[in-house]
Amino acid sequence: MIRFFQLLFVGSILLMACHPKVSSNMSQENDAALREKANELAQKYIITDGHVDLPYRLKVKNFRLTREYLGIPVETDEGDFDYVRAKAGGLDVPFMSIYIPASYQTNGGAKELADSLIDMVNGIAKAHPDKFGVVSTPQEAEAAVKAGKIALPMGMENGAPVEDDLKNVAYFRKRGISYITLTHSKDNQICDSSYDTTGTWKGLSPFGREVVHEMNKQGIMVDISHVSDNTFWQVMDITSAPCIASHSSARKFTPGFERNMDDDMIKRLGENGGVIQINFGSAFLDGEISKKRDELREKLQEQLEAQGLSYRDEAAKAIIEQFRKDNPSVYADLDIVADHIDHVVKLAGVDHVGFGSDFDGVGDSLPTGLKDVSQYPNLIQTLLKRGYSESDIEKICYKNVWRVWNEVQKVAKNMQAGKM
């Protein structure tokens, strides 16, 4: 019987080789089956995403919880996220980014901005209680999903709102913050940034070390996206709990881009028990594409400056529109996103990778096939094609992050009880 199936298999291969049309039809049928399976898994498994910048996008749009604006998070043509598209894509637990621009570190108002964005997320859930629920633990997230809602945990992008008061760590945990990205684009009072060449602290500040310890104690995940390499290694040395990179990718594909993680860092994060959640922005995925986009940006800037214009000038709009027609933007694709996942799996294992799209935060740079929250099944289909099992995909979709999130809560309880 085994011999029969071997012969049948060889025969089918020869048939496809002799008849390309048969091969093409079988390939199309296989793609259709994988697509159906990807859609099924996207709805079957919880999908969590480490970083969605909806709150700040709405702030920029002067969002107010009035009758006029209540529909924005439900269904809109703007941005990358809304309820309808999230449901279509199977997204259940997007971490809402409480984003604090670095300017608030010097100009003041960081804590106030954080509170206002947290209020906004709570307000969205209050306005649509049948569609959204604010959560701060995996258990709360699962309960919300079971009730048919999209769960909205929150992560604070930039620790500036902690200010210089350690008590604010507990304050923000009570307000529902589940992770804190230690800094953003500039060195702050906690640590150095990957985007800043100043090297203020050569890693963590003395206060920053206390903040990491207090985050462990309060049950807030330490997010090492945006931090300098020195900061990362120092966090790994002192943390009592696993950490996350909520929206970072692999530096192997973007040489010299410190914002991404190098191979040794990915391995170390895996040894820590942590998870790197892959950023979908093209600049994070492909160094050559990033270089090309920079060149186009510089070329447009030169054209505008030659006419004494800036991007914001009314007279520049027609020039910018024509430039973009003549010089189409270039994008990464699904395969390079999967390449990053493959690379992390090779270095650290399938237990240490997840999704951290940066939807609503990377502008017009999202990959072909991953333009908004409705398109997670496209990525799942790509992973299925590459041989990932359903169990692997379940881990990548949410179980890896759940493990870290739960362990951080466990460590916090032990620390508060004096057991650590």
Angle between helices 20-44 and 2-18 (to 10 degrees): 110
Q: What pLDDT, on the 0 to 100 scale, is given for residue 24? A: 60
Q: Which of 144, 60, 59 is nearest to 94 (CA)?
A: 144
Say if residues 398 and 392 touch (Cβ distance below 8 Å): no
pLDDT at residue 68 greater than cutoff 60: no
- Domain total in the chain: 2
pLDDT at residue 294 greater than cutoff 90: no
* Pair (174, 201) in one structural domain: yes
Structure confidence at residue 69 as a pLDDT band (50, 70, 90): low
Q: Which of 415, 358, 356 is nearest to 212 (CA)?
A: 415
* Pair (291, 354) in one structural domain: no
Query: What residues make up the domain containing 308?
Result: 287-331
Say if residues 147 and 133 touch (Cβ distance below 8 Å): yes
Q: Which residues of 374-388 are buried (b: 16+ CB within 10 A; e: fewer)?
A: bbbbbbbbbbbeeeb
* Pair (167, 312) in one structural domain: no
* Pair (147, 185) in one structural domain: yes
* Pair (165, 279) in one structural domain: yes
Query: Of residues 304 and 217, which shows the higher confidence score?
Result: 217
pLDDT at residue 20 greater than cutoff 70: no
Say if residues 166 and 210 touch (Cβ distance below 8 Å): yes
* Pair (298, 321) in one structural domain: yes
In whole angstroms, give the CA distance from residue 88 to residue 84: 6
* Pair (262, 292) in one structural domain: no
Residues of the chain with pLDDT > 70, as a percent, come to 91
pLDDT at residue 21 greater than cutoff 60: no
Q: Whole-model pTM?
A: 0.89
Q: What pLDDT, on the 0 to 100 scale, is given for residue 60? A: 86
Q: What pLDDT, on the 0 to 100 scale, is given for residue 277? A: 99
Q: What pLDDT, on the 0 to 100 scale, is given for residue 81? A: 97
User: How many CA atoms lie within 13 Å of 59's alpha carbon, on the beta-carbon side?
Assistant: 19
Six-digit token string for 374: 């409705």
Query: Of residues 63 and 133, which shows the higher confidence score?
Result: 133
Each residue's pLDDT tens digit, 120-175: 999 999 999 999 999 999 999 999 999 999 999 999 999 999 999 999 999 999 99
Each residue's pLDDT tens digit, 175-194: 999 999 999 999 999 999 99
Q: How many CB atoms lie within 10 A of CB 173?
A: 19
Boundary residue ending a domain (310, 331, 352): 331
